Amino acid sequence: MVPALVAGPPTMAVAADTLPWNNPNNALVIDAYELNTIDWDSLLSDKRIAAFISKASDGLPESFSCTGDHAGDTVAHCKTMWRKYAVSRELFQTRRLVARAAGLLWGSYHLARPGNPVDQANHFLEYADPKDDEMMILDLEGIDSQKFMSLEDAQIFAGHIRARTGRYPVLYTNHNTARYIAAYRNDYPVLARLPIWYARYRPDVKGVFPMGNWDNYLMWQFSSGQNCSKRRCPYRVPGTLTDIDVNVAPMSRAELAKVWARGNLLPAREPDPPLILAKIEMEPRGMPAQGPATFAQLPPDPIVTSSIPQSDVVRTRRDF
């Protein structure tokens, strides 16, 4: 585990471990969005589950007036979104009451969209109303600023959360985005030093960590609707369907509780020479490559959060 979070005990997992969710000493974390169905009595029967993370806010605040410009939406759609927002927020609060009453650690995430990052940060804090012992997460799905919050704005978002709460959020992202941030960590000194909640659906992450300032993942999302079916699933959570997201922490429940809401930045490191090539390879489409040569561009990042409609998902075999 990263040194700023915990002084790694001898039993702590390392990033090269295979199938760490099969280790009964490693804590499991469930994360859900508003359309996941949960039977709480069944879910809580799994004593390895130490924490529950729920989707909170999504982009900019919803419009409650439904007048004026709706960015292409009709007034009817605006009213539908308002009702959805009201219901999802009530569900969020109910889940928090149930989870905390059951002794689970609680966290919430903001799905980062294009738009004013300060307004989005304030929206998240108003929606989630995070307590001092609850984890806050910035969900950054890719580096395409037309679809997701730009990396520059993500830094502003994280800084505003720190200014208002005294703590930084955790960064949730996929492999391609994490690698890009690591390569450009001098350009994004805050974003690159947030503890990472890492999403990748493989049996191990050998050769991935250390990456930039990250010695290891804080949590690894290893199972979701993309790699879990009725026939085969990395880990089945009682009381949920195959679309539930499951995460593993490289530590015990007690160790996870100690670092859950700390909100510190990781130590900074100087870039290593191998990342020069990564900086060129990872340039977003449409941007000029930086360096003496032009390399083939990678396909867009896959979307790894179940709160994104499947019709919007762009998949690539590179990350699965």
The predicted-structure confidence for 9-52, as pLDDT tens digits, reads as follows 334 556 768 999 999 999 999 999 998 999 999 999 999 999 99
The chain-wide mean pLDDT, for the chain, equals 82
Query: Between the ranges 57-71, 161-175, 292-306, where is the mean pLDDT highest?
Result: 161-175
Average confidence (pLDDT) over 150-162? 97
Q: Which residue type, as a one-letter code, is found at position 190?
A: V
Listed range (82-86, 149-153, 177-181) with the worst mean pLDDT: 82-86
Report the phi/psi class of residue 146: left, alpha or beta, with left for phi > 0 and alpha for psi in -120 to 50.
alpha
* Tokens of residue 96, six digits: 């928090």
Task: Identify the pLDDT of residue 62.
Answer: 76
* Tokens of residue 207, six digits: 């050769």
Q: Which of 221, 48, 59, 78 is nearest to 138 (CA)?
A: 59
**pLDDT tens across 227-285, in order?**
999 999 999 999 999 999 999 999 999 999 999 999 999 999 876 555 554 555 555 54
**pLDDT tens across 44-58, in order?**
999 999 999 999 999
* DSSP per position, the chain: --TTT----TT---TT-BSGGG-TTS-EEEEE-TT--B-HHHHTT-TTEEEEEEEEEESSPPPSS--S--TT--HHHHHHHHHHHHHHHHHHHHHHHHHHHTT-EEEEEEE--SS-HHHHHHHHHHHH---TTSEEEEE---S-TTTS--HHHHHHHHHHHHHHHSSPPEEEEEHHHHHHHHHTTTTSTTGGGS-EEEE--SSB-TTT-SBTTBSS-SEEEEESTTT--SS--S-PPTTB-TT-EEEE-SS-HHHHHHHTT--PPPPP-PPPTTHHHHHHHTPPTTSPPPSSS--PPPPPPPP--TTS-GGG----GGG-
CA angle 124, 80, 226 (to 5 degrees): 65
Residue 296 has pLDDT above 50, yes or no: no
**pLDDT tens across 117-130, in order?**
999 999 999 999 99
Q: Between residues 233 and 292, which one has the greater pLDDT? A: 233
Task: Identify the pLDDT of residue 16.
Answer: 61
* Cβ(238)–Cβ(42) below 8 Å: yes
Q: How far apart are CA 294 and CA 315, in angstroms?
A: 24
For the chain, domains (ranges, CATH) are 27-64+71-280 (3.20.20.80)
**pLDDT tens across 94-115, in order?**
999 999 999 999 999 999 999 9
pLDDT > 90: percent of the chain? 66
Which pTM does this prediction carry? 0.81
* Cβ(212)–Cβ(275) below 8 Å: yes
Instruction: Name beta bridge partners: 38.
Output: 240
